[in-house]
Amino acid sequence: MLYEDLKEFEFLLPEERIARYPAIHRDESKLMILDANTGKIWNEPSFKNLVSYLKEGDVLIANHTKVSKRRVYLKTLARIHEVMFLEEKELLWRCKIRNSRKLKVGETLSDKKTQTISFTVEKKEGEFVFLKPEHTLQEKDFQQIGEIPIPPYLKREADLQDEIRYQTLFAKTPGSVAAPTAGLHFSESIFETLKEKKIQLCTLELKVGYGTFQPLTRENFQNQKLHREEFFLEESSAEILNLAKQEGRRIFSIGTTTLRALESAYDFATDSFRSGPGATELFIQPEDRLKSCEGLITNFHLPGSSLLLLVSAFAGKESILNAYQKAIAEDFRFYSYGDAMLILGRKE
């Protein structure tokens, strides 16, 4: 696929189709079903109905990463800056800062909320600014000085509701700057039903980076790479997945971040998954053939995004674009807090 082909994945999305806030209850979003083998599309009124498409022996795998409060407002004597703390390396934090042109190397900033932690601008490289905090930052520091970094397309400030609803119920390991949003639909009630039907749920961890919000560039297509994200597949999860593969049982990925990690941990030669740590720059495109799982639970993604290309690889370009037009016509809600899609089977 070429960069010029990306225009085929653009579509007009009315502003009112963007879900600015979550549904009242996690599991009451609408659910669209897409059969990847036939292209047939139909709707379910509630995400709760997902379990009727699952059977004993199926395996669901989710990303158990937790969103950290990495959006921090820092101030100098002259102005306030919105800062996204991305990653730490050798006591320096790589950050995205609005209006960073006005910051100078050596300048000092302090957090706006508590005014207890100061930072020094150590260097600037391209779009990134590297800050050195006065002491090593712990998760508890971000809890005190930061805010939940809800996606920019919500066009609002985060509130108390987001601290609960922009986390999945299986979130446990902090470090992401965005939620694995397909998992937001799962409720305790659904967990109980899965257990009753003897459907296994296992997890992996992929730290979702800010790159998930970045538009695709010509460079992505030239290098055939996306932003780098670290993941970890527990040995217990790999054992569950590998046994399912051996026995011909279905594996369903909860979300695109999970699928990206699964495809990176999957060994095509042995038809099995490797446990342990890894990192992925995988750029999945419509012509790719995915082999790690047999079903995908996902949200409705941005036009022309890497995630739209990924789901097109899973179900086929024509089927996905047809489903999206149907979703727009039938008042489905899009993006992080929007409705869900279940893709059954995968394009061969």
pLDDT in tens, 60-118: 999 999 999 999 999 998 899 999 999 998 889 999 998 898 899 999 999 999 999 99
Q: Where in the chain is the domain with CATH 3.40.1780.10?
A: 3-67+163-344
For residue 24, give every residue at least 6 positions away whose Cβ sits within 8 Å of its Cβ, in sequence order, or none: none
Residue 347 reports pLDDT greater than 80: no
Q: Give the CATH number of domain 74-147; options: 1.10.150, 2.40.10, 3.40.50, 2.40.128.
A: 2.40.10
Q: Where in the chain is the domain with CATH 2.40.10?
A: 74-147
| Nearest Cα to Cα of residue 327 among 24, 11, 7, 38 | 11
Counting beta carbons within 10 angstroms of the beta carbon of residue 287, is it exposed (0 to 12), middle (13 to 18) or buried (19 or more)? Answer: exposed
Mean pLDDT of 326-334: 98
Mean pLDDT of 53-62: 98
Rounded-to-integer distance, Cα 92 and Cα 261, Å: 27
Rounded-to-integer distance, Cα 306 and Cα 340, Å: 18
**What pLDDT is recorded for position 77?**
84
**What pLDDT is recorded for position 90?**
86
Laid out side by side, the sheet with 59-63 consists of 41-44, 31-35, 340-344, 295-299, 251-254, 59-63, 200-206, 229-233, 276-280
The per-residue pLDDT for range 202-217, each reduced to its tens digit, is 999 999 988 888 899 9
**What pLDDT is recorded for position 210?**
84
Rounded-to-integer distance, Cα 256 and Cα 283, Å: 12
Burial 174-185 (b: 16+ CB within 10 A, else e): bbbbbbbbbbbb
Rounded-to-integer distance, Cα 66 and Cα 311, Å: 23
The string of DSSP codes covering 278-327 is EEE-----TT----S-SEEEEEPPPTT-HHHHHHHHHH-HHHHHHHHHHH
Q: Which two tokens stand for residue 162?
A: 């987001």
**What pLDDT is recorded for position 348?**
66
Q: Which two tokens stand for residue 198?
A: 């003897």
**Global pTM?**
0.94
**What pLDDT is recorded for position 276?**
98
pLDDT tier at 346, thresholds 50, 70, 90: confident
**What pLDDT is recorded for position 279?**
93
Helix (H) or strand (E) holding 162: helix 160-165
Mean pLDDT of 215-244: 96
Residue 171 reports pLDDT greater than 70: yes
Apex 130 CA angle, 110 and 264, nearest 5: 125
Residue 320 reports pLDDT greater than 90: yes
| Nearest Cα to Cα of residue 228 among 211, 215, 214, 253 | 211
CATH 3.40.1780.10 fits 3-67+163-344, yes or no: yes
The per-residue pLDDT for range 105-158, each reduced to its tens digit, is 999 999 999 999 999 999 999 889 999 999 999 999 999 999 999 999 999 999
Q: How many CB atoms lie within 10 A of CB 293?
A: 23
Q: Are 177 and 84 in contact (CB under 8 A)?
A: yes
How many residues would you count in the chain? 348
Q: How many CB atoms lie within 10 A of CB 49?
A: 15
Q: Are 184 and 176 in contact (CB under 8 A)?
A: no
For residue 220, give the DSSP letter: H
**What pLDDT is recorded for position 6?**
94
**What pLDDT is recorded for position 99?**
83
For residue 160, give the DSSP letter: H
